[in-house]
C-alpha cells in the first residue's frame, strides 16, 4: 500500500477514501464514517467508565477505567516519564 500510495502521490487514507467514493456518494460516506466513529466513541467511553467483567463467559475483568483513573491521577506530575504508560499496562497484564 505504501508503494501504491507513493506511486499515486496519495496517502493510504486518501487511497482508501477514493476507493470508497467509487461505491458511495460523498455525503453517504461521511454519514457512514460519522456513524462508525460514534459507535467506537461510545464503546471507548463505556470502557473507561464501567467496572466489573466484560460481557461473555470468559470472566475477563474490565481494566480500562482503572488504568485511565491511575493515569489521570498522575497527569502533570514531574516525576512521570513518557514510558510510564506502557510500564503500567505491562504491570496490569497478569492481574
Q: Are 1 and 12 in contact (CB under 8 A)?
A: yes
pLDDT value at residue 71: 79
In the block, residue with C-alpha cell 516525576: 79
Beta bridge partners of 53: 61
pLDDT value at residue 73: 82
* Rounded distance between C-alpha atoms, residue 65 and residue 67, angstroms: 6
pLDDT value at residue 79: 63
Provide the 3-class DSSP secondary structure of residue 27.
helix
Residues in the chain with pLDDT values less than 50: 94-95
* Rounded distance between C-alpha atoms, residue 17 and residue 23, angstroms: 10
Q: Are 84 and 75 in contact (CB under 8 A)?
A: no
4: which 3 cell numbers? 501504491
| Domain map (residue ranges) of the chain | 1-49, 62-95
30: which 3 cell numbers? 461521511
Amino acid at each position: 500500500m505504501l508503494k501504491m500510495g507513493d506511486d499515486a502521490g496519495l496517502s493510504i487514507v486518501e487511497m482508501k477514501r477514493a476507493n470508497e467514493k467509487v461505491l458511495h456518494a460523498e455525503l453517504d460516506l461521511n454519514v457512514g464514517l460519522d456513524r462508525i466513529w460514534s459507535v467506537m466513541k461510545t464503546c471507548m467511553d463505556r470502557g473507561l467508565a464501567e467496572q466489573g467483567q466484560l460481557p461473555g463467559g470468559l470472566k475477563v475483568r474490565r481494566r480500562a477505567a482503572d488504568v485511565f483513573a491511575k493515569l489521570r491521577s498522575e497527569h502533570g506530575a514531574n516525576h512521570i516519564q513518557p514510558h510510564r504508560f506502557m510500564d503500567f499496562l505491562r504491570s496490569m497484564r497478569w492481574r
